[in-house]
Structure 1
Amino acid sequence: MANSYEQLDIEFIKRKAISGVVTFTLRTFFIQIYTFFATFVLTILLSPEVFGVYFIVLALINILVYFSDVGLAAALIQKKEEPKRIDLITTFTIQQSIVLFLVAIGLIFSGRIANFYNLSVDGLLLLRMLIFSLLLSSLKTIPSILLERHLKFTRFVIPQIVENFVFYTLAIILALNGFGISSITWSIFARGLIGLILIYILSPFKPDIGFNIKSAKRLVSFGIPFQLNSIIALIKDDLLIVVIGKILPIIQIGYIGWSQRFAFLPLRFIMDNVIKVTFPAYSRLQNDLNYMKSAIEKSLFFVTFIIYPLISGLVVIAPMVIKIVPNYSKWEPALPLLYFFAINAIFAAVNTTLTNTLFALGKPSIILKLMMLWTILTWVLTFFFIKLFGFAGVAIASAMVSISTSIIIYFVNKEIKISITRNIYGPIVASGVMFFSLKIIEQNLPVNIFSLIFIIMIGMIIYIILSFLILREKLTESLKIVLSVIFPMK
């Protein structure tokens, strides 16, 4: 009798990985565009202070999120053999025990936390709702693992699309009706509840309580080093925001959150989709390094080809948008931060893919050591630059640390030889020429909506023409792959 979760051969994994990236990108394209414009609308309707509160509270909740998982989810995805039900039940039991404990602690101390940051009643409600949403999110873990492990990305993406649509639509409606920060609070609840229902419909799993010590030890041996990296990343990023949230005024935290969010939008648009697909796919290819090398190089090209022009274009049009859009001049103090966070995004496009490679190869200990180095650098440089440049120092430190992450290339090449420069030079050259061309054109145009549209259109034309001049063969090959996924041969 054929097992529905049979061992996947290499060719099948390759097809599923490619189709997964394409499907994720195509299916999330419109919702990502919608998310971008919805976020943009919210930044018009809500004040920097509101975003400052949200940014701090979100960082606090991320601390609970990291401690709610001991890396068992990643261990189940990375596992070479098919997980048994006892593995799933053991993971579910351990995680829910941790989550329930953390949610209880979070709710008990939420009042004191709100007082510490001088949060309003609405801010306290937002904090408590985010704590509760952790429970809803944790219940989705096993169904999500099953979809990821078996590379069923067409199903996996559906809850994400619906969750984003519900969250941003409801948030805008409530913000338009004067709910302020509460518009985010109730949107979080609606998103979590609907996402939970959908994931169980698409990936049925019967929850149960059980524990197998042998299974737990096996999963934890990979999971804990993996999660330690996440916890160090937490100290590097979210805990830092929690600390500076007490040092800097709330409005400046809002500027930091706004600039970081928009600078990283191109990353979120592409990178999250690619990582969701490539970690399980690379993990299944770890016994054949030649195929894995090819897959990683294609990922690098795909990611940089899309992300680099988006970042370049964003940096060019941001000052125009600030001046053109009504009620948007309030974000002008955040523009310098946007430029430095954009530098971070440029390096992250490559280095995050390579970090993902080491995880898939079962080398989380290497990443752990590097994360410790980057965390120390982040904290030292952030407080140093805050003293010199005020709140802009947060973004300057972020850019400096991102450059240092390129050391990951050395460690990846020790495990598997990858041609990085050959796969990213084209997007770098095309994006660079596009950027400088647009800056020259922009200086000779009046600041209005027509100039903004013209700049965007010219930027697209320049990048497309340059890309085909520099990368004709590689683009033709990639286009054939994409078309074969969209229109498969019968």
Structure 2
Amino acid sequence: MADTNQELDIELIKKRAVSGIITFTLRTFFIQAYTFFATFILTILIAPEIFGIYFVVTAIINLFIYFSDVGLAAALIQKKQEPTREDLVTTFTIQQVIIIALIVLGLAFSNSIARFYGLDNSGLMLMRVLIFSLFLSSLKTIPSVLLERHLSFTRFVIPQVAENFVFYTLTIILAFLNFGLESFIWAVLARGIVGLVLIYALSPWKPALGFEMRSAKRLVSFGIPFQLNSIIALIKDDLLVVFLGKILPFAQVGYIGWAQRFAFVPLRFVMDNVIKVTFPAYSRFQHDIRQLSAAIEKSIFFVALTVFPIVTGMVAISSRVISTIPNYGKWEPAIPLLYFFAINAMFAAVNTTLTNTLFAIGKPNIVLKLMVFWTTMTWVLTFAFVKYFGFIGVAAASAVVAASTSIIIYFVKKEFKVAILKNIYAPLIASLIMLALIRYFDHILPPGYPGLVIQIVLGIAVYFGIMILLIGARLLESLRIVFASIRAID
């Protein structure tokens, strides 16, 4: 058996994985709620055109982010044995070389990119600040990996909370003061500095430069296929936004960004937290298929239980929100896009969790082949749908591609047995009934905020009522685990 100071036994892994998902989600609840609220305020304060510019520029910078890492960080987390000092230093060195090269390249071509998109000086400065922020982010990689690998998510979440709070608070203040696009510039810079200081305070690591060929080969053997998947996902998503920024008006890109961001809020709040915890946990279960299968089923149930009702609930109340909130009618053209992106979110909640499983057990090549197919499908359908349906076609194509990702179930079941339907049927049925009832009673409810509040309360009551009828015992057991984990939080 490995040194107990280095490796975690199965029971401890299970305990940390379950508590990690719950505590990680709970500890991020308020900041996620704040992020949602702040984004909502920003969409009131800023015009769709400004939101569209930020959406496109961020997508451009994401191109650099994906090429800044050859998957070595993921390889360190997935590695069965504890990473050595040589592994950490080699990873840090390789990443810094890549980052510096990308920053020089990005700054050199920033003027040309700005002219290509017709960006003003504020847009150019935002791009340059985001490029510089890549360097700050790269310095956080190793301390973050060390926390993730040891499932220390209580500490891991603190810098994220601080970064989001600083970014959105400063952005709102500056937007209120009519700084426009410059609001994002100062907020991005402040976020990067705060996050860097906190991660080193919580996970001290002495940076050093060095290169060990044997270590690099081991890590790259997993890292490159892993990162190729990320790069293909980049082409599928962010590069598509870059393309849309050229062929569509920024206002329409803003509608796309608004709808996508709000439809994906449940994924960012729940699914991302689950994946963050389960990737290292699943990696430790590689030798025990029974434990791995049980862990995956619990993850799928938890994600479906929370994501499905939030997504359908947002769809159900979206029209009333648009008509009720002052200065929010400008986003009405985005409602049809919200519906299609919501379909995407429902499929992604389950299928992304399964994709994460294949990564964790060291099967990135399977996902790589599927990603090539999905990326090709995304570009072909988006181009065709935009031609015939306008900017709404972007979201419609997204929904079709998301449905096709269900093929991942077949590949996961080839590796081991895992039950999908029994873990999602109850949340799905309850969510759809909730959606139907909210929409049915919408026209008879009072206008304005009273009607909106009634819709929300009605939705919650209907969802949990149906869940109790369908799987009452399992729901109560899940709640018991949640409350036990809450009491155990330090």
Q: Which residue of 2 aligns with 1:142?
A: 142
Residue 30 in structure 1 maps to residue 30 in structure 2 = yes
Correspondence 1:38-437 to 2 at 5 A: 38-437=38-437
Q: Distance in 1 between matches of 2:396 and 2:32?
A: 27
Amino acid at match of 1:279: F
Determine if contact 2:93/2:209 at 8 Å carries over to the other structure. yes
The change in CA–CA distance for 1:4 and 1:141 in structure 2 (over 3 A counts) is farther
Shift of 1:3: 6.6
Q: Taking every aligned residue pair, what percent have the same amino acid on both sides?
A: 64
Q: Distance in 1 between matches of 2:36 and 2:7?
A: 39
Shift of 1:208: 0.1
Shift of 1:4: 7.7
Q: Tell me which moved more, 462-471 or 72-81.
A: 462-471
**5+ residue gaps in structure 1?**
none
Amino acid at match of 1:312: T
Amino acid at match of 1:460: I
Q: Distance in 2 between matches of 1:438 and 1:276?
A: 33
Q: Deviations over 1:229-252 (max 9, x none)?
A: 001001111111111211111111
Shift of 1:489: 12
Q: Distance in 2 between matches of 1:3 and 1:186?
A: 46
Determine if contact 2:23/2:489 at 8 Å carries over to the other structure. no
Q: Deviations over 1:337-358 (max 9, x none)?
A: 1100000000000000000000
Determine if contact 1:255/1:331 at 8 Å carries over to the other structure. yes
Determine if contact 2:259/2:338 at 8 Å carries over to the other structure. yes
Q: What TM-score comes out, normalization by structure 1 length?
A: 0.98
Q: Which residue of 2 aligns with 1:480?
A: 480
Amino acid at match of 1:385: F
Q: Distance in 1 between matches of 2:3 and 2:115?
A: 55
Determine if contact 1:386/1:394 at 8 Å carries over to the other structure. yes
| Equivalent position SS for 1:475 | helix
Q: Deviations over 1:297-333 (max 9, x none)?
A: 0000000100000011100111111111111111111
Q: Which residue of 2 aligns with 1:450?
A: 450
Shift of 1:475: 1.3
Determine if contact 1:5/1:82 at 8 Å carries over to the other structure. no
Q: Tell me which moved more, 398-407 or 315-324.
A: 315-324
Q: Distance in 1 between matches of 2:19 and 2:85?
A: 28
Shift of 1:443: 2.0
Q: Distance in 1 between matches of 2:488 and 2:30?
A: 22
Q: Distance in 1 between matches of 2:422 and 2:463?
A: 18
Q: What TM-score comes out, normalization by structure 2 length?
A: 0.98
Q: Distance in 2 between matches of 1:348 and 1:293?
A: 19
Q: Distance in 1 between matches of 2:102 and 2:149?
A: 27
Q: Distance in 1 between matches of 2:448 and 2:476?
A: 37
Determine if contact 1:103/1:131 at 8 Å carries over to the other structure. yes
Q: Distance in 1 between matches of 2:453 and 2:121?
A: 42
Q: Distance in 1 between matches of 2:368 and 2:454?
A: 46
Q: Distance in 2 between matches of 1:161 and 1:487?
A: 21
Q: Which residue of 2 aligns with 1:10?
A: 10
Q: Distance in 1 between matches of 2:338 and 2:53?
A: 19
Determine if contact 1:307/1:349 at 8 Å carries over to the other structure. yes
Q: Deviations over 1:266-291 (max 9, x none)?
A: 11110111110000000011111111
The change in CA–CA distance for 1:327 and 1:410 in structure 2 (over 3 A counts) is same
Q: Deviations over 1:369-425 (max 9, x none)?
A: 000000010000000000110111100000000000000000000001111000000
Shift of 1:101: 0.5
Shift of 1:476: 2.0
| Equivalent position SS for 1:56 | helix
| Equivalent position SS for 1:487 | helix
| Equivalent position SS for 2:444 | coil
Q: Which residue of 1 aligns with 2:21?
A: 21
The change in CA–CA distance for 1:387 and 1:143 in structure 2 (over 3 A counts) is same
Q: Distance in 2 between matches of 1:388 and 1:65?
A: 33
| Equivalent position SS for 1:443 | helix
Q: Deviations over 1:188-215 (max 9, x none)?
A: 1111100000000000000000000000
Q: Distance in 1 between matches of 2:487 and 2:319?
A: 41
Shift of 1:488: 4.2
Q: Distance in 1 between matches of 2:57 and 2:121?
A: 13
Amino acid at match of 1:66: Y
Determine if contact 1:5/1:150 at 8 Å carries over to the other structure. no
Determine if contact 1:382/1:393 at 8 Å carries over to the other structure. yes
Q: Distance in 2 between matches of 1:450 and 1:121?
A: 44
| Equivalent position SS for 2:405 | helix
Amino acid at match of 1:82: E
Determine if contact 1:59/1:238 at 8 Å carries over to the other structure. yes
Q: Tell me which moved more, 378-387 or 460-469.
A: 460-469
Query: What is the RMSD of the two structures over their aligned residues, measured on CA atoms?
Result: 1.3
Amino acid at match of 1:10: I
Amino acid at match of 1:481: I
Misfit runs of 4+, over 6 Å: none
Amino acid at match of 1:359: F
The change in CA–CA distance for 1:489 and 1:29 in structure 2 (over 3 A counts) is closer
Shift of 1:293: 0.6
Give the aligned length: 489
Shift of 1:467: 1.2
Q: Distance in 1 between matches of 2:239 and 2:6?
A: 42
Determine if contact 2:348/2:402 at 8 Å carries over to the other structure. yes
Q: Distance in 1 between matches of 2:458 and 2:59?
A: 38
Amino acid at match of 1:253: V
Amino acid at match of 1:212: E
Shift of 1:446: 3.5
The change in CA–CA distance for 1:333 and 1:179 in structure 2 (over 3 A counts) is same
